[in-house]
A and B are shown apart, each in its own frame.
Chain A
């Protein structure tokens, strides 16, 4: 069988290196690489006709490859990659966001070859995280994401970019270290023969409940900072506000998904007893994040900061759906991660466009932009309505199933996220009222509407929002091809 996953990683790596070296042609190389990556992701999707049956050896993965990598006698580390429905959907998300980001930042004039190269490198890291099925390989890609993102913020960012970049790096790095230690501990305590996911799967289920709880808590801390969950979230608004638009899109769209993905792959699947026992902790953290993200959003004046806090709310719902720990909940969590990736990407793009069209992102001081930039206003509306969960747009089926799963497990506690849906609607509608409608309050009177490339980048995401909003089955049918979301025992 053709090793499509390795081939994709390789082409993306080659494309990234070429982009760094391509000078003034960098954006074209980046675009070509993105198109190729999207093509390869589509091939994976088409070639993905279901998993090998769940067997005694562990969960099945499609298109899997495994080669010996490091052999220490007492421990084998393999280069193992593979896909199931969950990772495939997130790979698709990576491909979509990569091409949208490249197109959106087409006119980047500050060291374009480095810019596009780092964008591609970030996506490469994320792709690696989603396909890696070995602890060491997973961790290498995981860390590989941080470095390009650090430079994207630190070099192309706003006035406080150094502070924000450092804060981002330290937070996530501390979390990574805890995660790494916990992953190693899990491997060694369970006595698995290798760091491979299937080998671990066979071993970790036999761990004592106490051990599972401690490991699950440590891993939850490691992945939770990436989510981010309250109270380890304050890196996020700073990073977003200072990050360049493209950086924000990848940060919200992809990097936040790493936490959710890691939690499902390495905790829910490997430590089912541990996750069940720490579920109450997860519920509390998720509820607090949902409430906090939404309420704090309401008081933000900076459009981008508002969107950043709304991410905390949405990722709180993702965490809640994971904590519920039922097939429906996990399916909803993955669907919501995809939805949030697309929608928050769109919202960060419009924030960036508002900033460089009107010179500020301060919501109360612009006002009445609809007649001045109707295209931009339309994009803001679509993004906001999608984010507040309007049916026929992508978030609705995800939030519906997530909250249905929550009702199933927690009964009337579901009222908390439901009530916060009203608050979420409130801050988006209030933002639209002040920014889009009413008389003009500031900013230049005569402005150009969206440049073609910015509009095109957003249009890709809008099209996906509508397509998957109307036909969520296209994603759901893929996501359920996984041992934890599907009809497997």
Chain B
């Protein structure tokens, strides 16, 4: 028992701090001019959230492997049929465990630093109350997601962070490109979200009665019970194909949120939002939620081997695929965005290979060095007013702090020891490598991930040299660069320190406890296979395979050196005419034409179907109805003519009618009588 355990039950307070900021700033922000339109209120409350969040994280380190669930019933649905003979409960609660504690530290620390940085970065913008209210709401939802103790609550906050991301990408909504990017982000992730929802249905319905007692359904479908997964015990009667599908649906949801191939297209366009938003939402926290989903699923529910291969394939392929596109980007933020996609691929890869906590470790370090890179880029953009790398140059002379910060971030990202990225990326590669014997199918994806190490070193240092090296800006029209105010410099310094140290934490025992879940990693799938996946988790983090480390460092260093050879003097040159690289470059700049393809599907294919449906609606369905209506109208028109108003006409009708009836009776009468059985 640690001294801070009493805090675990109060974890729900953490999201309430930014929620309070949301309400205060959202309702009264325009009256808070003295507080920079609510900015300082949001900063103060996110600081409070950080203090409590980090204390909870430390508490979890001091009480290794404890699982504390605090929940309240959201709604109870009695239902005597189907898979829910006892009905089911949906609960809202907080689960403090090693994974969520790790994630909580990331979210609250980066959240606070970005909030502070915003005071300086957003100073000149309009709509500050909206900005701080939306950012606070995001923080609330993100912390809620991290602490979720069941899949439904997870999904609920998952959608809320998505909508906050939608609003913040579209912060400059007057710009058509921003409005379009916001819509694109929402829709692409929505594709993943509905599949995620299907996965939730499958889990809920399939395992409603599992777990003993009144079953999982009555207990609110919680992840954990006591110090282990709720469904950890052997589940009988579960069909493996169904479980595989559910796992794939989780992967689809994660691919949408974490921008993995083929749902990655939205993330580079999301750079339309303010750079602070890119740092917090689209680098450190929200996009990592997909990885977190996979981690939570693998720990508490488990993946089947087929799922694992699919996850490894998606993650491994994405590392390389995204890195290639980063290589040619002229926009500093987009370079980092593609890098984020690629790095998320490493995390997905590790989780897929069965090394959940290794993936989470990379998530942890990545959050810091990637937020650092974005904030440093923001500092540059703040100073020179452009994102075009080819217009910048020579900034190192005027922006010492930013220069060093970007360098630290770039070294960490490239995986140069002893920076944080080295340790976590090395762990990812070593973990997957250790599985290659048992799973030869992982080989191609391992090699792609290894290749991406070279590209990473190259593209980030290309951006670094283009922005900071050389003598002067290549575009003479740029304003003279200057460093930002202290509120911008402090987060850079703090994050730089973390980008150096976060990897070394793994050697400190209290922190290392977070990376070792207190139960055998498992859930349903391993139980079904009779496999304890926990056996896969390497007992020691840090360098385990020196030869592999040497290869990866050599690759990263090679990338950095190549960048230095090509761009180190800050000079820019065009590709020679007819160079074989030109079509490749065009392919990469056009993002493999996937965005064009998706736009075609959305704007041409689906919209054409909708237009055709509308046509059918108006002319066939409604047309038929109007046709029937017209027939009746014409019939009544015809019948109306016999109403002449002339008495002799009517007399003629009456006489005709009577004669007709008589004739009818005469001929049909006997038949009717017979038919009725009389006569």
- To the question of whether A and B form a pair in one complex, the answer is yes
Interface on A for B, CB 8 Å cutoff? 230-231, 234, 292, 295-300, 326-328, 331, 368, 370-371, 385, 390-392, 396-397, 400-401, 403-405, 407-409, 414-415, 418-419, 421-423, 425-426, 429-430, 432-433, 436-439, 472-473, 476-477, 480, 486-487, 489
CB distance B198 to A414 under 8 Å?
yes
Instruction: Tell whether B176 is near chain A: CB-to-CB under 8 Å.
Output: yes
| Residues in chain B near residue A407, CB distance under 8 A | 198, 201-202, 205
CB distance A487 to B87 under 8 Å?
yes
CB distance A429 to B183 under 8 Å?
yes
- Going nearest first, the 10 A-B pairs with the smallest beta carbon separation are A437-B179, A487-B78, A299-B610, A298-B610, A391-B156, A407-B201, A437-B173, A473-B75, A299-B614, A234-B622
Please pick, from A230, A370, A425, the residue contacting B190 in the complex, using a CB distance under 8 A: A425
Instruction: Tell whether B609 is near chain A: CB-to-CB under 8 Å.
Output: yes
| Residues in chain B near residue A299, CB distance under 8 A | 607, 610-611, 613-614
Q: How far is the CB of B340 from chain A (nearest CB, A)?
A: 23
CB distance B176 to A408 under 8 Å?
no
Number of interface residues of B (CB under 8 A): 56
CB distance B77 to A328 under 8 Å?
yes
**A391-B156, A408-B83 known; A295-B194 Cβ under 8 A:** no
CA distance A415 to B155 in the complex (A): 17
CA distance A392 to B163 in the complex (A): 11
| Residues in chain B near residue A371, CB distance under 8 A | 174
CB distance B621 to A234 under 8 Å?
yes
CA distance A182 to B178 in the complex (A): 56
CB distance B187 to A429 under 8 Å?
yes
CA distance A297 to B611 in the complex (A): 10
CB distance B194 to A421 under 8 Å?
yes
CB distance A292 to B81 under 8 Å?
no
Q: How many A-B residue pairs have CB under 8 A?
A: 142
Instruction: Tell whether B204 is near chain A: CB-to-CB under 8 Å.
Output: yes
Interface on B for A, CB 8 Å cutoff? 73-84, 87, 90, 152, 155-157, 159-160, 163, 166, 170, 173-176, 178-180, 182-183, 186-187, 190-191, 194-195, 197-198, 201-202, 204-205, 602, 606-607, 609-611, 613-614, 617, 621-622, 625
CB distance A418 to B159 under 8 Å?
no
Please pick, from A292, A408, A429, the residue contacting B613 in the complex, using a CB distance under 8 A: A292
Please pick, from B87, B163, B622, the residue contacting A390 in the complex, using a CB distance under 8 A: B163
Q: Chain B at the A interface: mostly helix, strand, loop or mixed?
A: helix
CB distance B173 to A436 under 8 Å?
yes
**A326-B81, A476-B76 known; A391-B160 Cβ under 8 A:** yes
Q: How far is the CB of A304 from chain B (nearest CB, A)?
A: 15
CB distance A423 to B79 under 8 Å?
no
| Residues in chain A near residue B204, CB distance under 8 A | 404
| Residues in chain B near residue A432, CB distance under 8 A | 183
| Residues in chain B near residue A489, CB distance under 8 A | 80
CB distance A390 to B160 under 8 Å?
yes
CA distance A244 to B187 in the complex (A): 33
**A368-B174, A403-B201, A425-B190 known; A234-B80 Cβ under 8 A:** no
CB distance A426 to B73 under 8 Å?
no
CA distance A316 to B87 in the complex (A): 25
| Residues in chain B near residue A426, CB distance under 8 A | 187, 602, 606
Interface centre among A296, A371, A396, A487 (most CB of B within 10 A): A296
| Residues in chain A near residue B187, CB distance under 8 A | 422, 425-426, 429
**A370-B173, A422-B194, A437-B170 known; A401-B83 Cβ under 8 A:** no
Q: How far is the CB of B139 from chain A (nearest CB, A)?
A: 15
CB distance A408 to B190 under 8 Å?
no
CB distance B197 to A296 under 8 Å?
no
CB distance B81 to A419 under 8 Å?
no
| Residues in chain A near residue B74, CB distance under 8 A | 472-473
CB distance B186 to A429 under 8 Å?
yes
Closest Cβ neighbor of B188 among chain A residues: A422
CA distance A480 to B79 in the complex (A): 9
Further contacts, 6 of them, CB under 8 A, given A414-B198, A425-B187: A296-B613, A392-B160, A418-B198, A422-B187, A429-B166, A437-B182
CB distance A423 to B205 under 8 Å?
no
CA distance A397 to B77 in the complex (A): 11
Interface centre among A368, A371, A392, A409 (most CB of B within 10 A): A392
CA distance A60 to B152 in the complex (A): 34
| Residues in chain B near residue A480, CB distance under 8 A | 77-78
| Residues in chain B near residue A477, CB distance under 8 A | 75-76
Closest Cβ neighbor of B172 among chain A residues: A437
Q: How far is the CB of B128 from chain A (nearest CB, A)?
A: 14
CB distance A327 to B78 under 8 Å?
yes
CB distance A298 to B173 under 8 Å?
no
CA distance A480 to B88 in the complex (A): 13
Interface centre among B79, B174, B205 (most CB of A within 10 A): B79
| Residues in chain A near residue B183, CB distance under 8 A | 429-430, 432-433
CA distance A403 to B602 in the complex (A): 25
Please pick, from B81, B152, B173, B190, the residue contacting A400 in the complex, using a CB distance under 8 A: B152
Closest Cβ neighbor of B184 among chain A residues: A429
CB distance B82 to A408 under 8 Å?
yes
CA distance A33 to B198 in the complex (A): 46
Please pick, from B152, B191, B198, the residue contacting A422 in the complex, using a CB distance under 8 A: B191
Question: Can you report 22 residue pairs joining A to B where beta carbons are below 8 Å apart?
Answer: A234-B622, A296-B613, A297-B610, A299-B607, A299-B613, A300-B614, A327-B80, A328-B77, A328-B84, A368-B174, A396-B156, A396-B159, A404-B205, A407-B198, A408-B82, A409-B82, A421-B194, A422-B187, A422-B191, A429-B183, A438-B173, A476-B76
CB distance B76 to A328 under 8 Å?
no
CA distance A303 to B518 in the complex (A): 55
**A425-B186, A426-B187, A438-B176 known; A397-B79 Cβ under 8 A:** no
Closest Cβ neighbor of A434 among chain B residues: B179
| Residues in chain B near residue A422, CB distance under 8 A | 187, 190-191, 194
| Residues in chain A near residue B182, CB distance under 8 A | 433, 437
CB distance B617 to A296 under 8 Å?
yes
CA distance A331 to B80 in the complex (A): 13
| Residues in chain B near residue A403, CB distance under 8 A | 197, 201
| Residues in chain A near residue B201, CB distance under 8 A | 403-404, 407, 414
CB distance A328 to B610 under 8 Å?
no
| Residues in chain A near residue B173, CB distance under 8 A | 370, 436-438
| Residues in chain A near residue B609, CB distance under 8 A | 295
CB distance B174 to A433 under 8 Å?
no
Q: How far is the CB of A420 from chain B (nearest CB, A)?
A: 9
Interface centre among B74, B78, B204 (most CB of A within 10 A): B78
| Residues in chain A near residue B197, CB distance under 8 A | 400, 403, 418
Q: How far is the CB of B665 from chain A (nearest CB, A)?
A: 30
| Residues in chain B near residue A296, CB distance under 8 A | 610, 613-614, 617
Q: How far is the CB of A199 from chain B (nearest CB, A)?
A: 26
CA distance A300 to B615 in the complex (A): 11
| Residues in chain A near residue B83, CB distance under 8 A | 408
Q: How far is the CB of B459 from chain A (nearest CB, A)?
A: 32
CA distance A327 to B415 in the complex (A): 56
CB distance A418 to B77 under 8 Å?
no
Please pick, from B82, B175, B180, B607, the residue contacting A326 in the complex, using a CB distance under 8 A: B82
Q: How far is the CB of A325 from chain B (nearest CB, A)?
A: 9
CA distance A390 to B176 in the complex (A): 24
CB distance A423 to B606 under 8 Å?
yes
CB distance A298 to B606 under 8 Å?
yes
CB distance B205 to A408 under 8 Å?
yes
| Residues in chain A near residue B156, CB distance under 8 A | 391-392, 396
CA distance A396 to B160 in the complex (A): 12
CB distance A415 to B198 under 8 Å?
yes
| Residues in chain B near residue A433, CB distance under 8 A | 179-180, 182-183
**A385-B163, A407-B202, A487-B87 known; A476-B614 Cβ under 8 A:** no
**A370-B173, A391-B160 known; A418-B607 Cβ under 8 A:** no
**A298-B607, A327-B81, A391-B160 known; A473-B76 Cβ under 8 A:** yes
